[in-house]
Amino acid sequence: MSTSTQHNNNSGTPESGPKPKAKRRRGSWAYAIGTATVLTTAWWAFAGGSKDESLNDTRFTAFDVVSNEPVSPTAFVLTIRSRDSELAKNSAKLKAAWEHGLWSVEFKQPQLQIARHYTPLPPLEGEDGTDGQLRFLVRKMQGGEMSNYLSRMHAGDQVWLRGPHHGFDIPKRLGDAREIVFLAGGTGIAPALQMVHKMLNAPVNGAQDSKPSIRILWANRRSVDCVARDEFRSKREENLRAQSVFLRQILEMKRRHGDQFNIDYYVDDERKFIGIKDIDAALRSASATKTTWTLQAANKICRWHSAELLAASMDEDDGHTSDAVCACPQGRAGRKIVCVSGPDGFIEAFAGSKRWTGGRELQGPVQGALGTIKQQGNETLDDSLVLKL
């Protein structure tokens, strides 16, 4: 999901006719002070105007750029770090975000005064995510104001963030189900890796076999963007220290989680696209390896498992209703999860577009390829929730 905010700070003060020299000087000072006031007010309106400089979901906070590492000819990993003066507060907020699971922040482009959502990559193995450092996978897009702006960042530069914005509560929506399938387009793999970090790093309910299986169908335009594909195919051991940070992260996850974490690669330039048969096979593969019980039918008024209520909600709503209890019948309650993340066109093709209603971007009905599977009466989507990220 991406959003933008724009503000116009143009102002002018017309003058008419000549004025005495002294008055003209006083007028110039008044004009300068007035202009400065307007610009300062506009800036603080955009930045939030608060003395608390730690992360906040209503205003922007300064972070320092640590590095900008190329991943492919068009993609890079941007690493940033909280300023020391706000590290303690930011660490607590980042810890809460990682404990929630799915979350994002907004970057600001100060020249154009626009903002875009970006999803942080999970901490590397051995990190706890509370050191104030964040990494982002960004693809430089032709004509993309924000991605081009971030691509020019270097160590020591300053960027501005707003957030964190918590997304879907995956553990509560999954419940007793154990299958997650993720359709990811390009940099849309970032929330998929967040899900792996949240759901597989620690046993659920204290039992190893209670962890879900997570299968990612990752689509890219070019083969050079398919990070770790050759390593997944060969299954060879790698010297992780010698690899790029993003490749190292994927290989660490695979080595740690084994068959519970898999990626299938699809490349436009190789004429290999995600099709209905691929989605069906991924759903069948996940179900065959994990679930040994039948899930209870979802109650249509259940906050977590009702497909009807999901269609009329936003992903950020989960964080506001975290205390809601499951209203499904007693027994094994939950839904298998199918997530779709990537550019708007990708989400629309596989799950249908989101719907704007009353100023809120709602999930809307399941359409696209997944909607076709539902219409065909294919049982692989039974007991599933489709989440548009």
Question: Residue 97 is inside which H or E element, if any?
Answer: helix 87-100
pTM of the model: 0.84
| Residue 323 scores a pLDDT above 80 | yes
Selected residue with higher pLDDT from 208 and 363: 363
Q: What pLDDT, on the 0 to 100 scale, is given for residue 277?
A: 94
Q: What pLDDT, on the 0 to 100 scale, is given for residue 377?
A: 79
CB 57 within 8 A of CB 163: yes
| Residue 34 scores a pLDDT above 50 | no
Please enumerate in sequence order all residues whose Cβ is within 8 A of that of 364, keeping only pairs 6 or more positions apart, or say none. Answer: 311, 352, 353, 354, 355, 388
Q: Which amino acid is at 366?
A: V
**9-26 residue pLDDT tens:** 333 333 334 334 343 444
Q: What pLDDT, on the 0 to 100 scale, is given for residue 207?
A: 52
**44-67 residue pLDDT tens:** 444 444 467 899 989 999 999 999
**343-371 residue pLDDT tens:** 999 999 999 999 999 999 999 999 999 99
117 — alpha (psi -120 to 50), left (phi > 0) or beta? beta
CB 110 within 8 A of CB 146: no
- Residue 361 forms beta bridges with which residues? 356
Q: How many residues are present in the chain?
A: 389
CB 170 within 8 A of CB 319: no
Q: What pLDDT, on the 0 to 100 scale, is given for residue 52?
A: 76
Query: Of 17-26, 249-258, 288-297, 360-369, which range is least confident?
Result: 17-26
Compute the average pLDDT of residues 321-340: 92
Compute the average pLDDT of residues 137-154: 95
Question: Residue 70 is inside which H or E element, if any?
Answer: strand 61-70
pLDDT, averaged across the chain = 85
What percent of the chain lies above the pLDDT cut of 90? 68
Q: What pLDDT, on the 0 to 100 scale, is given for residue 5?
A: 38
